[in-house]
Amino acid sequence: MSAVQPPTARPIDFRDATLGTTVAVLRLVEPHLLADAMHKMLGGMPDFFSGEPAILDFAELAGEPERIDWAGLLSLMRRFQLQPVGVRNLAPELAAGARKAGLAVLDGIALGERGAKVPAAETPPQRPAAAPVPAPAPAAPPAAPVRAGTMIVERPLRSGQQVYARGADLVLLAGMSNGAEVIADGSIHCYGPLRGRAIAGAQGDTTARILSTNFGPEIVSIAGIYKTFENGIPAALAGKPAHVRLTGGDREHRLALEPLQLD
């Protein structure tokens, strides 16, 4: 190491950077309830987030908590390899606690997030498990958004992996395994086996569909209307091209599972 600094080198520099930051949208603050939900989402991959910095967003909180167990919340996030660095949309009377816990209060700072946020009051996400969950990072490992409206996953999705196509359709080019989960606000198109949990229309879009060339899911759901297959998949569809959509008009939505003609 040289002791002589080149004349232009400053001891500190500041650069613009878009961090690979995850925003965790909390709808509840009780660590034990969140732990349960996160475990369901990420149980198989405790290190899904690989140490990403996270911002806790309280905009969609179900109620007004009197206090927040910051220590519990932070240790829960860290257990899932998220590093909370700040909070936003937190009620002013709770902000002091966040600061004390070492979190920055980031209201009014634009983050350049990907994907449009849907206001909670208009179309609350409907999921079969009805679990309050932090929004997963849009950038799951093997996925790359090609253009607004479609996310394409090129590699097989494995047990324990989860992909969320926020505000988009999802195309799986190499199928998915049992124990994997895909969620799309739009439709899901799966080339290859569809074997895990497939949740389309996650924000309530009843026109979303699920299409697969090799049908064998554990669960399918469209706009919160779901079907499980504990007793097996109908023989006419199992391992074959199939198509899932909602029928029955606004009141009486039901899932229709039909063979798909590929010829």
Partner 1 sequence: MTRVVVITSGKGGVGKTTTSAAFASGLALRGFKTCVIDFDVGLRNLDLIMGCERRVVYDFVNVINGEAKLTQALIKDKHCENLFVLPASQTRDKDALTEEGVEAVIKELEHMGFDYVVCDSPAGIERGAVLALTFADEAIVTTNPEVSSVRDSDRILGILQSKSRRAAEGREPVKEHLLVTRYSPKRVDDGEMLSYKDVQELLRVPLIGVIPESESVLHASNQGTPAIHLKGADVADAYTDVVARFLGEERPLRYVNYEKPGLIKRLFGGK
Residue 91, classed as helix, strand or coil, is: coil
Spatial separation of the C-alpha atoms in residues 9 and 31, rounded to whole Å: 46
- For partner 1, the closer CB: 130 or 146: 146
E strand or H helix at 188, and its extent?
A: strand 188-194
Q: How far is the CB of 100 from partner 1 (least distance, A)?
A: 31
Report how far Cα 37 is from the mean position of its chain's Cα atoms: 12
Q: Please, what is the minimum distance in Å from the beta carbon of residue 42 to partner 1?
A: 12
Q: Between 24 and 157, whose beta carbon lies closer to partner 1?
A: 157
Contacts with partner 1, residue ranges (CB under 8 A): 44-45, 47-48, 50, 141-142, 155-161, 174-175, 177-180, 192-193
Residue 82 Cβ, how far from partner 1 at the closest point, in Å?
A: 15
Provide the greatest CA pair distance for the chain: 77
Looking at the Cβ atoms of 98 and 143, the one nearer to partner 1 is 143
- Closest contact distance (angstroms) between CB of 130 and partner 1 is 26
Joined together, the tokens standing for residue 49 give 């987030």
Q: Are 38 and 98 in contact (CB under 8 A)?
A: no
Strands 210-215 and 242-247: antiparallel
Compare residues 50 and 228 and give the one whose CB is closer to partner 1: 50
207/123 Cα distance (integer angstroms): 14
State in angstroms the smallest separation of the CB of 41 from partner 1.
14
Within 17-91, where are the H helices?
Answer: 31-42, 70-79
CB 137, CB 151: distance < 8 Å: no
Q: Minimum CB separation from partner 1 for residue 155, in Å?
A: 6
Nearer to partner 1 among residue 161 and residue 203 (C-beta): 161
CA–CA separation, 54 vs 86, rounded Å?
A: 7
Q: 8: burial class by Cβ within 10 Å (0-12, 13-18, 19+)?
A: exposed
| Distance of closest approach, residue 43 Cβ to partner 1, in angstroms | 11
Cβ closest to partner 1, residue 50 vs residue 207: 50
Nearer to partner 1, 72 or 156 (CB): 156
Residue with tokens 């009377």: 93
